[in-house]
Amino acid sequence: MAIPTVSIDRLDELKALLATPKKVVITTHYNPDGDAIGSSLGLSHYLRKKGHLTTVIAPNEYPKFLHWMPGNQEVILYDKSQPVAEQALKHADLIFCLDYNAPDRVKDLAKPLQEAEAPKMLIDHHLQPESFTDFSLHTTQASSTAELVYDFIELMEDTELIDYQMAACLYTGILTDTGSFQHASTTARVHEITADLMRQGLDTFDIYDKIFNTASISRMRFFGHCWSNRMFVNAKVGYAIIEVSIKDQLRFHLQKGDTEGLVNTPLQIDGIQASVLATEQEGYVKLSFRSKGDIDMNTFARQYFNGGGHKNAAGGMEEAPLDKVIEKIKHTLPKYLQS
Ligand SMILES: [Mn+2]
């Protein structure tokens, strides 16, 4: 298999630190996704196999379709178990920061995280990392943090330790962050890593089924409603906007995670290169941006909508009424796409 192209500065120092059993805390970002939880649990299983004591802390709850993952019951949610999480951080020997690269991505967890005295190690693939950790494994070329956790295990010369539990978790991170191996980040190496993980006996259809075939009837009807009544398409410029009001959310009894994936759907339309989902919240509008190829939605989100992310997938927000936000998108996005 191709060797990892990433490296860790002062890897020897990190190896020395992990040479004896340590108390390790693994943290991930707010509103965790498949990669956040998959990479965190995958790393946790690996470190436990190496004899370390691990605690995984997520800032808040994540979708039920991720709860099947091995080790899920041990994840501590900071917003529900603050004292336990704070104690773990305080007494940690090493803290991992997975799938985020700025302290504000963990919301209220940022304070105890930054107050903790233990050295910190970042593993992440988002753009423009802030330097708040002692060690770092970072590249925006990686498909997922789960891929980088595999790289980390390889850099530690431990790939032979990978077992079913680690494989299931890391596979989930790669599967979800690559949009089921569709995104441009799906390199030959991603497939090689995936093949290696599959050799641990993964039932990949079963994993796909547990994650993606979990829609409620109301979610399906809500998607239909959005495509019929809430989607604006500018075929000439090649973009689409779906707007979802609070009223819509109430009408379809939307649960957390029910809008997941909706923003990608307009890209299925022939000629549509960029897509926006605008979801009305109390006092602001939450925005998701998706694009194909070289269209850089990270820069667009940063420039106009207080956000950022990846080139082809970014987020943002605007404190304004929904109709004003839609107007602003229609005003700024065509110019941006045509420039
Ligand atoms: Mn990720």
pLDDT greater than 80 at residue 231: yes
Cα 35 to averaged position of ligand 1 atoms, centre (Å): 5
Q: Report the separation in Å between the CA atom of 331 and the middle of ligand 1, taken as the mean of its atom positions.
A: 30
Classify 121 as helix, strand or coil.
strand
Q: Is the pLDDT of residue 5 over 80?
A: no
Spatial CA neighbour of 122 closest among 153, 145, 156, 89: 145
pLDDT at 3 over 70: no
**Per-domain residue ranges for the chain?**
11-212, 218-338
Q: Which residues surround ligand 1, an ion (CB under 5 A)?
A: 35, 99, 144-145, 177
Does residue 6 surpass a pLDDT of 90? no
- Cα Rg of the chain, angstroms: 20
How far does residue 36's CA lie from ligand 1's centre (Å)?
A: 6
Distance 52 CA to ligand 1 centre (A): 24
Pair type for strands 313-318 and 308-309: antiparallel
CA of 174 to the centre of ligand 1 (A): 8
CATH code that applies to domain 218-338 = 3.10.310.30
Query: If you measure from the C-alpha of residue 320 to the centroid of ligand 1, how many angstroms do you get, rounded to a whole number?
Result: 29
The rounded Å distance from CA 204 to ligand 1 centre is 19
Q: pLDDT at residue 189 above 70?
A: yes
Cα–ligand 1 centroid distance for 75 (angstroms): 18
The β-bridge relationship of strands 274-281 and 308-309 is unpaired
pLDDT range class, residue 127, cuts 50, 70, 90: confident
For ligand 1, the distance from its centroid to the CA atom of residue 39, given in whole angstroms, is: 8
Per-residue pLDDT tens digits for 54-77: 999 999 999 999 999 999 999 999
Q: What is the pLDDT of residues 136-185, one digit of tens each?
A: 999 999 999 999 999 999 999 999 999 999 999 999 999 999 999 998 89
**Distance from the alpha carbon of residue 33 to the mean position of ligand 1, in angstroms:** 8
* Distance from Cα 29 to the centre of ligand 1, integer Å: 10
Query: Residue 202: enclosing H or E segment and its boundaries?
Result: none
Q: Which amino acid is at 209?
A: D
- Which of 2-16, 175-189, 223-237 comes out lowest in average pLDDT? 2-16
For residue 324, report the distance from its CA to the centre of ligand 1, in Å. 31
Q: Do 11-212 and 218-338 have matching folds?
A: no
The whole-chain average pLDDT of the chain stands at: 96
Q: Is 324 a residue whose pLDDT tops 70?
A: yes
Give yes or no for a contact between 107 and 38, defined as CB atoms under 8 angstroms apart.
no
0.85 exceeded by pTM: yes
Distance 229 CA to ligand 1 centre (A): 32
pLDDT (0 to 100) of residue 317: 98
CA of 177 to the centre of ligand 1 (A): 6
pLDDT tops 90 at residue 271: yes
Given pLDDT bands bounded at 50, 70 and 90, which one contains residue 2? low
Backbone angles phi, psi at 167, to 5 degrees: -60, -45
Give the model confidence (pLDDT) of 35-54 as tens digits: 999 999 999 999 999 999 99
- Mean predicted confidence (pLDDT) in 109-128: 96
- Asked whether the predicted pLDDT for residue 121 surpasses 70, the reply is yes
Q: How many whole angstroms from 97 Cα to the centroid of ligand 1?
A: 12
Task: Judge: domain 11-212, CATH 3.90.1150.10.
Answer: no
Q: pLDDT at residue 256 above 80?
A: no
In this prediction, residues 21-34 reach a mean pLDDT of 97
Find the 251 Cα to ligand 1 centroid distance in Å. Answer: 31
CA distance 3 to 20: 27
At residue 301 the predicted structure's pLDDT band, cuts being 50, 70 and 90, is very high
